Structure 1
Amino acid sequence: MRTEIPPQAPGAAPAFDQRAQLQVDAFWRAANYLSVGQIYLLDNPLLTEPLRPDHIKPRRLGHWGTTPGLNFLYAHLSRQVALRELEMMWIVGPGHGGPAAVACAWLEGTYTDVYPHVGRDADGMRRLFRQFSFPGGVPSHVAPETPGSIHEGGELGYSLAHAHGAAFDNPNLVVACVIGDGEAETGPLAASWASVKFVDPVRDGAVLPILHLNGYKIANPTVWARVPEEDLASFLEGHGYRPYFVSGDDPSVMHGRMAGVLDEALDAIAAIQRAARQGGGDGARPRWPVIVLRTPKGWTGPREVDGKPVEGTWRSHQVPLDKVREDGAHLRMLEEWLRRYRPEELFTPGGVPVDDVTAVLPRPERRISASPHANGGLLLRPLRLPDFRDYAVEVERPGTETASATTVLGGWLRDVVRANPRTFRLMGPDETASNRLSEVFEATNRAWSAERLPTDEFLGPDGRVMEVLSEHLCQGWLEGYLLTGRHGLFNCYEAFIHIVDAMFNQHAKWLKVSRTLPWRRPIASLNYLLTSHVWRQDHNGFTHQDPGFIDHVLNKKPEIVRVYLPPDANTLLSVADHCLSSRDYVNVIVAGKQPALTYLPMDEAIAHCTRGIGTFPWAGTDDGETPDVVLACAGDIPTLETLAAAELLREHLPELKARVVNVVDLMRLQPPTEHPHGLPDAEFDTLFPPDTPVIFAFHGYPWLIHRLTYKRAAHPHIHARGYKEEGTTTTPFDMVMLNDLDRFHLAMDVIDRVPGIGPRAAHLRQYLSDQRLDARAYTRRHGEDRPDIRDWTWSR
């Protein structure tokens, strides 16, 4: 029978006696057995007969090296959860620890709860083994399919940032974050150690980092495993941690060491939180515990294969025995390896885990693999959003008054923060003020638990704005925050959001897969606000000029991604409200921060954003007839230049019938067969008549417009202008001229592409070309743009 142990208050764990050690070891051996079975076996899961080649998978895929250490940790963490009644989740940083996470979830019963066809018996064990890294099965890494996970194991570096994101505003949660020593070499993980300086012990939960040093990557030693212990201790202490070390390879010794260190670490966490929450502390920043676990890579696996050492070396990283179907000696070694775990002691003849295996487990609602925080949609509550209409700017006449779109948005975000003081955070790499969102500081501070000086502004442990000069950390924190059931917004300079390209990839893939799993509940969307964008980085120059994140985003599945280019302040408010209310998307909003013309009163802005694409009747001259040309635009600066071009054409070619079309939702350009927001062909053709030239001024790289519209009837007549990798430190108008996106060039494109106009507009074309030359010469003489260009407004 299972040994009943009464719940313990934090800091009051009983001694780790022989009975407890036997139970922890039994769970560990069972998890190791199941992990090896997943890598190798198709059948004969309980070894009821000698292993034969047909029991073995034809392709052995998976990673053994990190797995036994993960199983070891899970056994000890589960025991602590049961003893202390902890609310705990774990994050698996080592790249391919999938066998461990799946095995432990199956032993707990969570896997069967989620996937009833994989029962907790011999047949279920067979299915568990067969599906692993098998066509139609589950991946070899920790993935959305793995209960208890929020962290994709396919790419390294993000575990500690995700863990802190999960802990923010979760005061009762302990996040055990296992960091592989290979992962510890990555840039994002190196930056993530600083996350501890943003943890508030009153408001937030705790992260317990466990740096697992097993010595090797795929084929090389790891840097951190070769660092002397005293140097590693100095490194961690310098970051503000108190390190605890556990080292060895003898399980009978290691179980006791691990139990003792976990007791100390969890007691320390409880003491830090108690002092902070009861007000009895000295106000100094606490030193949070970190555990350094050093075990052999491939622990308990084959020590030697074909005369070469395996356990404790890089050879155990993936599949230590790779010829088991072809080589009888390897097959016998695999069977000996599996039998060393003594499965007959761990499972009944029917394949059910025995009581000694499950004795370390907490009650079902406390299981690590069943933590609701790892299925954040279960905990998600809608944001309380103030009515964005109340923040509208007045627009009496289009294109005549200015407003900074992000400044206006900042006022709304300030009140979003006020209305959601524990479920919304604003992330950004030291750019909240630069991006004109400073009004949020009327409601909150920047989160900061490190030293403060009298000259500092808006710093405090209770801040809702997370700023650190690492886009990786901002992304990782926000992902962890969203995946555990909260909401947020990431604001960033457009050119440097590329730093998180790979992190975005992983999150988009996570969303794509999780949407296919009925038990995964929808989470709040990942929202990007990209500002300080390419067309207004004229002062910082070429390095700050890159709109290509849009292209990268659109490589992902269409049901996941959305891209919005609101042309003014009111449309930005409408788009932001929509994005913060959405679920399971990645929303990219691109908007300028500099004062810019406003075009649409709020009611019209809402209608325009709801359509996602539409005409500006006041700017066109087609008067409801088939146009001679369509002037299309997407983005605030392309809209400005398009309208200025339309006015030039109206003045100099009054007989020309021009239509102005503005695109807010970039996905509307695609057919509905390609994207859920796609505009039906019939509607697209009404806006862009198939035989009519289209001059398209686009915020980003112009070839993206062709990619989105190549199936449209009008596509042969679309001529796109945008950023073509020409930039420098110059004036705003010279910047658009460098890329042929300026009003004069757009008007010249109309002359060149509308049949019949060229021969009678030669003088106008020369005039427009001369205007470009004069505008550039003016900047070289005066260091600024011509006043008539700089101060242009719509005059109609």
Structure 2
Amino acid sequence: MTPLQKIDAYWRAANYLSVGQIYLLDNPLLTEPLRPEHVKPRLLGHWGTTPGLNFCFAHLNRIIAERAQDMIYIAGPGHGGPAAVAHAWLEGSYSEKYPDVSQDAAGMRRLFRQFSFPGGIPSHVAPETPGSIHEGGELGYSLAHAFGAAFDNPGLVVSCVVGDGEAETGPLAASWHSNKLLDPYRDGVVLPILHLNGYKIANPAILARIPEEELVKLMEGYGYRPHIVGPDHEQMAQTLDEVFDQIAAYKDGRATRLPMIILRTPKGWTGPREVDGLPVEGTWRAHQVPLSGVRDNPEHLAMLEEWMRSYRPEELFDADGHPIPQILQTVPQAERRMSASPHANGGELLRPLALPDFRAYAAEVKSPATQTSEPTRLLGAFLRDVIAANPHNFRLMGPDETASNRLQAVFKTTSRAWNAAIEPTDEHLGAGGRVMEVLSEHLCQGWLEGYLLTGRHGMFNCYEAFIHIIDAMFNQHAKWLESAKKIPWRRPVASLNYLLSSHVWRQDHNGFSHQDPGFLDVVVNKKASVVRVYLPPDANTLLSVGEHCLRSRDYVNVVVAGKQPVLDLFTMDEAVAHCTRGLGILPWASTDQDQEPDVVLACAGDVPTLETLAAAALLREHLPELKVRVVNVVDLMRLQPPSEHPHGMSDAEFDTLFTVDKPVIFNFHGYPWLIHRLTYRRHGHHNLHVRGYKEEGTTTTPFDMAMLNDIDRFHLVMDVIDRVPGLGTTAAHLRQRMVDARLQARAHTREHGEDSVEIGAWTWPAAFSS
């Protein structure tokens, strides 16, 4: 066989295996006529994009072998799962990972039976597929993942097949700009292959219908050198040789533009051309299962057999089902195989971060709640030195908000990654920068996911309200982690760390549109094995939590912390102990020492904690006989039972802290019902009253924002009076004073445009300090 004939044989074998996965339960080599019982009762999967993916895999294997090129693939059309599985089986890595799916007829039968079958594997390019880091169930993120994988991987080429359907999404459209942040010397290369097969599920694809000249100009405008290829082996081979010559020129500084390929193939290429009198190949009807009634329709059954035999399996596999030697000769060796690359199982390459001692960045606290610090500013100093100590495997992502979120100390060590034009007025821009900023949360998330899944570390800082933009991307990554944890050969990867600042309670200047803490509700929907939520109330607890998150593996860590000055509550030793427990009593703010409390004031989040402390001080001043216990929660998952989350507290421990029969007023950073959801099984849940954000907001002062949502100190005192037995009548005068205090505070803001000094600059009274 000539080299192109071998490539064609590999491609036909991959197509045969792909069709078999969609359709067959038995008779994998068609050693007998196909019968209905050989066919799956439920036909699931997607054929339309699969032959184009197989075409790319077959040709990229040649490039890898001839040029000793490290390469991984991103299959943007995630519905091409049959192609990725077939590719891994032909390369041999599938049988290495799953010995029962051997590279013979018996293994081929298992390969076919398991696909989209109960107890088997998913239909997408899932974590179960060797070589995959991108499932593609939700479209739009392939190119961002590819660039994330390429950052700090100078010898790697990431071939990214972009489906023409996903090319219509906003995240994908923005992702083309990632080349402006790629450094040719420090980073690898992304080779986008825009696969135009003409159709989505039921409609034409836009980029497949616009004039070719316009499409070429679009890609040139994005900064690429486009190459157009049709469904032809010789043309694809010649183009790839030219493309990789251009990549070599880019890497050694002789070229400034990266190439990309526009591949045009018929949808459902090599499949049935017509079914029941309707055209299929080259139309939207090829998207999923072209022949849907195979078990019950003898004509369809005959067409399926004819289709599969058209690949001439007797020329591709020997009598025992092994791929013939000529096919295996096209496969790269060992870790050069895309399905066996350690870059696609990033935990194999992961190295721990070199972390400075976070205690060195602590705020000095002589007395609790009497001075303030800016938590994220202190964390920024810590991250500055994390970046300095890890110049090749840590990046900070964010949508143009690093300085706004008070992390600007990092710019003393690094710049923002930038490979486009730089003006004299620009600051902190340069090639190789460790800070990745672009005004697209989608790109930040996609880059970081690709970076983590290929064995590196990072953090995503964002305004709290706008992290919602990537809710679905978070869902996909969490699901990936959930699945990967169950796969023995998938190695743990660094956690995806979110730092959410500029949060709901201190977005008073930007107003209602910037006020939303609901990402926490989205996060806790995921499996307890994956998600962690932290609400550090001051600077030292943020440092402790931040360092812990950077050390963790296989989690999504969500940390919510303010950038504005907040009270310093804990020395560093106290902060470490408090964060290790996840929650605890603040003895200096409580008045129930060695006694049963009359009421528990609980809090989670920096501003709710401030208001809770101020309420505790008011109660101590005006109701000195009342026994108040103040409990702060850092690790939100501690509120759940251990049966629901590994961080959960036992009922006995929960009852000791919160009691089973006393009122609990819980002041919470987010939506109140989340606390109820986490604690509804607890013994004292009927005594729990939660205050939190209730969709009341505007452009106003910080304290007025708290009053709009009834988390303010005065309302908390009113809640205590209303819920502690006996106080309703004896404390009526105090309750009225609290109502009046709220009215006065609001009147002050309306007249002066700011909170009064006694509220805005409140600290723990010296008279109550021990």
- Output the TM-score relative to the length of structure 1: 0.96
2:447 — aligned with what? 477
The answer to whether 1:340 aligns with 2:318 is: no
Question: Which of 412, 415, 437 is the aligned partner of 1:442?
Answer: 412
* DSSP 3-state at the match of 1:529: strand
Q: Distance in 2 between matches of 1:555 and 1:234?
A: 44
The answer to whether 1:496 aligns with 2:466 is: yes
2:225 — aligned with what? 242
1:298 — aligned with what? 268
1:661 — aligned with what? 631
1:7 — aligned with what? none
1:37 — aligned with what? 20
Cα distance per residue 1:100-125 (max 9 Å; x no partner): 00001000100000000000000000
Q: Distance in 2 between matches of 1:73 and 1:448?
A: 31
2:327 — aligned with what? 357
Deviation at 1:85, TM superposition (A): 0.4
Total equivalences in the alignment? 766
Q: Distance in 2 between matches of 1:365 and 1:413?
A: 34
1:646 — aligned with what? 616
2:98 — aligned with what? 115
Amino acid at match of 2:240: L
2:379 — aligned with what? 409
Matches within 5 A, 1:308-327: 308-327=278-297
Q: Distance in 2 between matches of 1:76 and 1:424?
A: 33
* DSSP 3-state at the match of 2:632: strand
Q: Which segments of 5 or more consecutive residues in structure 1 lack a partner in the other structure? A: 1-17, 249-253, 276-280
Deviation at 1:43, TM superposition (A): 0.3
Q: Distance in 1 between matches of 2:326 and 2:290?
A: 29
Matches within 5 A, 1:592-631: 592-631=562-601
Deviation at 1:169, TM superposition (A): 0.2
2:251 — aligned with what? 273
Cα distance per residue 1:277-297 (max 9 Å; x no partner): xxxx5xxx8110010000000
Question: Which of 240, 250, 254 is the aligned partner of 1:262?
Answer: 240
Deviation at 1:480, TM superposition (A): 0.2
Q: Distance in 2 between matches of 1:63 and 1:447?
A: 38
2:399 — aligned with what? 429
1:183 — aligned with what? 166
Cα distance per residue 1:467-488 (max 9 Å; x no partner): 0000000000000000000000
1:590 — aligned with what? 560
The answer to whether 1:26 aligns with 2:4 is: no
Q: Distance in 2 between matches of 1:258 and 1:653?
A: 82
Q: Which moved more, 1:559-568 or 1:361-370?
A: 361-370
* DSSP 3-state at the match of 1:174: strand
* DSSP 3-state at the match of 2:252: helix
Q: Distance in 1 between matches of 2:604 and 2:136?
A: 37
The answer to whether 1:106 aligns with 2:89 is: yes
Amino acid at match of 2:746: R
Q: Distance in 2 between matches of 1:574 and 1:437?
A: 16
Question: Which of 152, 165, 176 is the aligned partner of 1:169?
Answer: 152
Q: Distance in 2 between matches of 1:180 and 1:355?
A: 32
1:574 — aligned with what? 544
Q: Distance in 2 between matches of 1:80 and 1:272?
A: 17
Q: Distance in 1 between matches of 2:297 and 2:664?
A: 67
Q: Distance in 2 between matches of 1:195 and 1:167?
A: 11
Cα distance per residue 1:521-574 (max 9 Å; x no partner): 000000000000000000000000000000000000011000000000000000
Matches within 5 A, 1:712-723: 712-723=682-693
Matches within 5 A, 1:386-405: 386-405=356-375
Q: Distance in 2 between matches of 1:502 and 1:387?
A: 35
Q: Distance in 1 between matches of 2:152 and 2:438?
A: 18
Q: Distance in 2 between matches of 1:793 and 1:322?
A: 71
Q: Which moved more, 1:742-751 or 1:361-370?
A: 361-370
* DSSP 3-state at the match of 2:149: helix
Q: Distance in 2 between matches of 1:95 and 1:305?
A: 25
Question: Which of 194, 200, 204 is the aligned partner of 1:211?
Answer: 194
* DSSP 3-state at the match of 1:772: helix
Q: Distance in 1 between matches of 2:327 and 2:41?
A: 31
* DSSP 3-state at the match of 1:517: coil
Q: Give the RMSD, CA atoms, in angstroms.
A: 0.6
* DSSP 3-state at the match of 1:618: helix
Q: Distance in 2 between matches of 1:420 and 1:159?
A: 27
Q: Distance in 2 between matches of 1:54 and 1:689?
A: 63
Question: Which of 92, 108, 117 is the aligned partner of 1:125?
Answer: 108
1:14 — aligned with what? none
2:128 — aligned with what? 145
Q: Distance in 1 between matches of 2:474 and 2:244?
A: 33
2:723 — aligned with what? 753
1:9 — aligned with what? none
Question: Which of 204, 212, 218 is the aligned partner of 1:221?
Answer: 204
Q: Distance in 1 between matches of 2:329 and 2:233?
A: 16
2:348 — aligned with what? 378
The answer to whether 1:230 aligns with 2:213 is: yes
Deviation at 1:274, TM superposition (A): 1.5
Deviation at 1:789, TM superposition (A): 0.2
Deviation at 1:40, TM superposition (A): 0.3
Deviation at 1:590, TM superposition (A): 0.2
* DSSP 3-state at the match of 1:97: helix
Cα distance per residue 1:477-510 (max 9 Å; x no partner): 0000000000000000000000000000000000
Amino acid at match of 1:294: R
Amino acid at match of 2:245: D
Deviation at 1:455, TM superposition (A): 0.5
The percent of aligned pairs where both chains have the same amino acid is 73
Deviation at 1:237, TM superposition (A): 0.5
Q: Distance in 1 between matches of 2:619 and 2:135?
A: 53
1:694 — aligned with what? 664
1:551 — aligned with what? 521
Consecutive aligned runs of 4 or more in structure 1 exceeding 2 Å deviation: none
Deviation at 1:744, TM superposition (A): 0.1
Question: Which of 433, 436, 447 is the aligned partner of 1:466?
Answer: 436
Amino acid at match of 2:448: L
Q: Distance in 1 between matches of 2:760 and 2:11?
A: 70
Q: Which segments of 5 or more consecutive residues in structure 2 lack a partner in the other structure? A: none
Matches within 5 A, 1:731-746: 731-746=701-716
Deviation at 1:365, TM superposition (A): 2.1
Q: Distance in 2 between matches of 1:623 and 1:293?
A: 73
Amino acid at match of 1:390: A
* DSSP 3-state at the match of 1:632: strand
Deviation at 1:359, TM superposition (A): 1.8
Q: Distance in 1 between matches of 2:229 and 2:680?
A: 60
Q: Distance in 2 between matches of 1:480 and 1:473?
A: 10
1:154 — aligned with what? 137
1:198 — aligned with what? 181
Q: Distance in 1 between matches of 2:646 and 2:290?
A: 46
1:46 — aligned with what? 29
1:12 — aligned with what? none
Q: Distance in 1 between matches of 2:394 and 2:709?
A: 39
Deviation at 1:357, TM superposition (A): 1.4
* DSSP 3-state at the match of 1:488: strand
Cα distance per residue 1:340-368 (max 9 Å; x no partner): 00000000000000012122111122101
The answer to whether 1:704 aligns with 2:674 is: yes
* DSSP 3-state at the match of 2:314: helix
Q: Distance in 2 between matches of 1:95 and 1:371?
A: 19
